[in-house]
Amino acid sequence: MAQRVGIIGAGNMGGRMGRRVAAAGDPIVAYDANPQTLASCGMEAADSIGALVEAVDVVLLSLPDSTVIEPVVLGDDGVLAHSRAGQVVVDLSTAAPDSTLRLHAALAQRGVELVDAGISGGAKAAEQGTLTIMAGGDAAALDRVRPVLDRFAAKVVHMGGPSTGHVAKVLNNFLNGLALSATSEVMLAGKRAGLDLERLLEVLNSSSGVNFATQNRFPSIVRGDYLEGGLTGRLMAKDVRLYLEFVATVGVPTFSGPGCLAAFELANSLGYGDQISNRVVDGLGDLIGGLRLQAEGATT
């Protein structure tokens, strides 16, 4: 018998993951603070967080950050207040690891397991069901919810105890942001030098400079397609800040972190914050006279 699933946060990523569960024929109900998002998410809607939690076995969270997650879980009408022993909460958000530890402890007092499950792959992977999940928490709880996670993830890795999934996610997202900001600089320099950018990418992707951005982002960007719909510049800056805060707590110095954050904060201040983080290349391009990678007349 399929577990009853609820998802809190039915937006860009949550909506896609939830619809994968629904498409597989599993019962799922959704809640979102935005009535328009909830109405258009394509899933049965819950009237409140409490109603959702009381109706399901597994609660999925897909929320922006810990400042939103904590009230949703710990608020007077939140997940904790309506939870019951034996339920599993799976937090698919990008969250501060210290906050995640507090939520593990709070839910455990009610006999509820929390699986902190960072996701990677973006909107396209969520749509196709090929996300990677890095999970922290009790191994048995993770095994219980694997059939649900398998609806939208191709790879699920148990990282260890509470918060280790969200730690891995913070580390991964920093490398993602760093590759994007650094590759933006390289591509702008190549453009300024008069290189054919498609040939430059061909070389980079066959050389030691290859990274996720050179392989999966810039082949589209140089043709004028910014792949809108993914992680925004504002959220990317938030993720880099999480990294800076985390490495400070474990005593690891970072020299590349502040520069990476500065690139996204610059782009955000120039008006790109609510667009996909790939627009960081345009923010940097604005500093040098509005330079764009795509040929004149390409769709933007």
Active-site residue set? 169
How far CA 133 is from CA of 4, 35, 100, 211, 278, in Å, comes to 21, 28, 16, 20, 22
Q: How far apart are CA 255 and CA 274, in angstroms?
A: 27
CB 9 within 8 A of CB 61: yes
CB 68 within 8 A of CB 97: no
**DSSP 8-state assignment for residue 232:** B
Strand-pairing partners, residue 133, are 119, 156
Residues 6+ apart with CB under 8 A from 161: 136, 137
Q: How far apart are CA 233 and CA 74, in angstroms?
A: 28
